[in-house]
Structure 1
Amino acid sequence: MEKNSTLISIQAAQALVLKYSSVTSVIVEMDLCNALDYVLAINVISEIDMPPFRQAAMDGYAFSISSAITYTVVAEIKAGDNANPILKEGEAVRIFTGAPVPTTANAVIMQEKVAIQGHKMTVQMPLVVEMNIRPKGSQIKRGAMALAKGTKIKGAHIGFLASIGITKVSVYAKPSIAIVVTGNELKAAGTPLEYGEIYESNGTMLSAVLQELGYLKTSIITVADDYDQTKTTLKEAIQVHDIVLVTGGVSVGDYDFVGKALKAIGVKEIFYKVKQKPGKPLFFGKMGSVSIFGLPGNPAAALSCFYIYVYPLLKKGEGATNTQLLSIFMPITSDYDVKGDRAQFLKAQIEEDGVQILEGQSSAFAGSFGAANALVFIPEHTPKIKKGERVKTILLPIK
């Protein structure tokens, strides 16, 4: 990374990340119970009708409608029974929710709408054929698609697939991600700070965001501002991970060793420095199949770059065709004077009447990100935005 590296545009940087990405869409089969937050790689087809039989939708009585209003109760069927009694005209069975309805019955009346005397049941409401009966295959029929490829599996999906007997699913494997944190000034939370020291937060923040997105195979590695140690640490991280995120040390200061170390171990630079704010000193490189990002050391800049560049890379690995975060145009809620002429990503909060740009836009301020659910994108050379003007609003993938 040279001091005179030419800044490239945001669009060019995004395209290069995807072009040179070799995070392959590896498909693995896994137990359904472990598939939460994975993306389905192959359509799931139902092998059964669901329900697999005509099913009582409520507690009551099943019978075949006739001119009579009083029926003789001859049996009882509860959920899990496999009885299928042949009902004669004028006969009924006591039945419970989820139980199989006899093939000779064409109605279920709720228990609150009958009068019972001994074994006699008298209906007290108008009757309709197939009332309160769930038809066989009414939820899904055998051979139909139960869940489509590309679906991110949630708890409800797991419940539904389990209900049709699915035990395994084919999903996109998730990459192993290293977060390398650099800086002599960084200390672990919970330890006393000496003068000139700060608590490390970037590694913790990025790991938490990745977990929130469903990526659990992450490692946080710390390294001091030392060239040899940085070189060794990065080489080892690249050898055992699919993606390496380095925070800090990517600028050209006397103690910024990341760029020199990456070059020394053979990482190919794809780009360095993007015409944006925050996150100008962003690095992206490759070593074999491993993608390496040099993220800025300032927390807000690091997180902004993660959402704009790393997130699309992760989505591509899940087989997604639309890899960028969803964006919409919304009116801004107040005037905003833009500082600088670079394109900017501003932390923002979507409200009922539009989008509000938050206070605390410094790249060093991570606190305002906690209130943000969006980033407002400001094109370069935009001096001012007036209240009511529609701005590109990037929706953050927060839960």
Structure 2
Amino acid sequence: MSIMTSIEEAIQLVKKHSRPLSKSTYKPVEKAGGYKLFENIYAPINMPPFRQSAMDGYALHLNDSLTYHFVGEVKAGDAHQPVLKQGEAVRIFTGAPVPDTANAVIMQEKVIVNGNTISIQNKVGVNANIRPLGEQVKKGELALAKNTKLTPAAIGYLSSLGISEVEVFKKPSIALITTGNELVEAGTDLVYGKIYESNSRMLLSALYSLKFYDVNIHKVEDDYDKTLSKLDTVIDENDLVIITGGISVGDYDFVGKALSALGVAEHFYKVKQKPGKPLFFGTKKNTVVFALPGNPAAALTCFYVYVYIALQKMMGHEAVELPRVEARSVSRFKKFGDRPQFLKAVWNNGDVEILEGQSSAMQQTFAISNALVFMREDLLNIEIGDTVEVILLPV
């Protein structure tokens, strides 16, 4: 009997053998969220590109008195440059260009207007309330460094610099392969002995929710030569291959044999866990290969615990595991056997409910879950009020 890999060791092996992609692609800046920069970006302009008013008020050419002569206004977007003599002021608005001959802005709440004259309550300092040219970044300076993850704020910042396209690390190309002669497509008649195939759509949805869109779905019959041929092609053409089913040791399970024949390096096969014991992880050259169990709930559990890590590593991210928190159980559960177990659950503000129907084939329970309770090997019972470890799912 082969020795099963522990969960902890399996996670470390996935981290070790899943490496950041070295490929790049160009993306419109508005579609680059979540990607990491492939190269440094240097500012093509000063930001702000002119001296800018920080508030609504009056731009002043300072003098020694508290009274100024009002000579006009400058709105945001105006291109004209009023020339102010000492003791003159213009009405100005937030974001508007400050005239070169003005050396301070005073907020409107501190000004009294009397015809063409304004009086200020207190003297203001030179350059008060003026955003200087290039305050955020000067032309030619480093705007964002390579490997920066592009958040919504970063997208806004790059757009403010007039940048419309960025070079980013390419996200992995992914192949989803389902196996099984018993599987038929939804929308067709279900004859006796057949079941509707769900793993591909389930995993495709999980990938899309994580913003991985370069995904192709393949179906292969329970036939060794066809399995070998299909795997040979997709491993050669993709960065990540996810197979569901056919990885056990039944007479019609050909995935393991085909992977071995193709020279895929096995890093582990069979993990001491429930669900998802028959889990394979390997690599060939730069392609990462997972063979997940065919049972849907087991396949999705393995996706979140292991495949998710590989995806984050391939993107070069530092936080690669789903968040884990402690929560108070509002349910009882008794574990049978010595395998650690991932339990489908609903987490809500510090409390967690362990659901009925924990079988690896039970999709209905998973459909309403937003978390997994991790029940370690030495823990046999969970009682109401116990503190348990919870993996929060990206749902």
TM-score using structure 1 length: 0.86
Alignment match of 2:6 (pick from 6, 9, 15): 9
- Distance, in Å, in 1 between the alignment partners of 2:124 and 2:189 is 75
Residues 367, 89 of structure 1: alpha-carbon distance in 2 compared, 3 angstrom cutoff:
farther
Q: Given that residues 25 and 318 in structure 1 are in contact (C-alpha distance below 8 angstroms), is that contact kept between their aligned partners in structure 2?
A: no
Alignment match of 2:306 (pick from 294, 300, 309): 309
Residue 232 of structure 2 is matched in structure 1 by: 235
Tell me the C-alpha RMSD between the 2 structures: 3.0
My pick for the range that moved more, 48-57 or 301-310, is 48-57
CA displacement at 1:38 relative to structure 2: 1.2
- Distance, in Å, in 2 between the alignment partners of 1:44 and 1:88 is 41
Residues 321, 158 of structure 1: alpha-carbon distance in 2 compared, 3 angstrom cutoff:
closer
Residue 260 of structure 1 is matched in structure 2 by: 257
CA deviations on 1:250-271 (whole Å, 9 max, x unpaired) are 1122222222332333333332
Q: Which amino acid aligns with 1:153?
A: L
Residue 174 of structure 1 is matched in structure 2 by: 171
- Distance, in Å, in 2 between the alignment partners of 1:59 and 1:229 is 71
Alignment match of 2:374 (pick from 373, 377, 399): 377
1:286 aligns to 2:271 (yes or no) = no
Q: Given that residues 326 and 350 in structure 2 are in contact (C-alpha distance below 8 angstroms), is that contact kept between their aligned partners in structure 1?
A: no
| 1:1-399 alignment, distance < 5 Å | 4-21=1-18, 24-28=21-25, 30-46=27-43, 48-64=45-61, 71-103=68-100, 104-110=102-108, 115=113, 117=115, 120-122=116-118, 128-129=124-125, 133-140=130-137, 146-147=143-144, 149-398=146-395
Residues 107, 26 of structure 1: alpha-carbon distance in 2 compared, 3 angstrom cutoff:
same
Q: Given that residues 70 and 123 in structure 1 are in contact (C-alpha distance below 8 angstroms), is that contact kept between their aligned partners in structure 2?
A: yes
Q: Which amino acid aligns with 1:270?
A: H
Q: Given that residues 66 and 123 in structure 2 are in contact (C-alpha distance below 8 angstroms), is that contact kept between their aligned partners in structure 1?
A: no
- Distance, in Å, in 2 between the alignment partners of 1:83 and 1:99 is 11
My pick for the range that moved more, 281-290 or 12-21, is 12-21
- Distance, in Å, in 2 between the alignment partners of 1:190 and 1:113 is 72
CA deviations on 1:84-129 (whole Å, 9 max, x unpaired) are 3332244222333321112324124449965464xx2545866755
CA displacement at 1:151 relative to structure 2: 3.9
- Distance, in Å, in 1 between the alignment partners of 2:336 and 2:119 is 77
CA displacement at 1:280 relative to structure 2: 0.3
- Distance, in Å, in 1 between the alignment partners of 2:55 and 2:3 is 70
CA deviations on 1:20-40 (whole Å, 9 max, x unpaired) are 345644345544344232123
Q: Given that residues 241 and 290 in structure 2 are in contact (C-alpha distance below 8 angstroms), is that contact kept between their aligned partners in structure 1?
A: yes
My pick for the range that moved more, 107-116 or 186-195, is 107-116
- Distance, in Å, in 1 between the alignment partners of 2:86 and 2:186 is 77
Q: Which amino acid aligns with 2:248?
A: S
Secondary structure of the corresponding residue to residue 205 of structure 1: helix
Secondary structure of the corresponding residue to residue 276 of structure 1: coil
Residues 122, 164 of structure 1: alpha-carbon distance in 2 compared, 3 angstrom cutoff:
same
Q: Given that residues 59 and 111 in structure 1 are in contact (C-alpha distance below 8 angstroms), is that contact kept between their aligned partners in structure 2?
A: no
- Distance, in Å, in 2 between the alignment partners of 1:154 and 1:267 is 36
Residues 182, 167 of structure 1: alpha-carbon distance in 2 compared, 3 angstrom cutoff:
same
Unmatched runs of 5 consecutive residues or more in structure 1: none
Identity of aligned residues (%): 50
Q: Given that residues 43 and 142 in structure 2 are in contact (C-alpha distance below 8 angstroms), is that contact kept between their aligned partners in structure 1?
A: yes
- Distance, in Å, in 2 between the alignment partners of 1:27 and 1:364 is 39
- Distance, in Å, in 2 between the alignment partners of 1:344 and 1:307 is 14
CA deviations on 1:23-63 (whole Å, 9 max, x unpaired) are 64434554434423212344545454422333124454322
Q: Given that residues 23 and 289 in structure 1 are in contact (C-alpha distance below 8 angstroms), is that contact kept between their aligned partners in structure 2?
A: no
TM-score using structure 2 length: 0.87
CA displacement at 1:293 relative to structure 2: 1.0
- Distance, in Å, in 2 between the alignment partners of 1:207 and 1:74 is 64
Q: Which amino acid aligns with 1:83?
A: H
CA displacement at 1:247 relative to structure 2: 0.5
My pick for the range that moved more, 273-282 or 325-334, is 325-334
Secondary structure of the corresponding residue to residue 19 of structure 1: helix
- Distance, in Å, in 2 between the alignment partners of 1:359 and 1:51 is 58
- Distance, in Å, in 2 between the alignment partners of 1:356 and 1:321 is 30
Q: Which amino acid aligns with 1:107?
A: V
- Distance, in Å, in 2 between the alignment partners of 1:213 and 1:127 is 55
Unmatched runs of 5 consecutive residues or more in structure 2: none
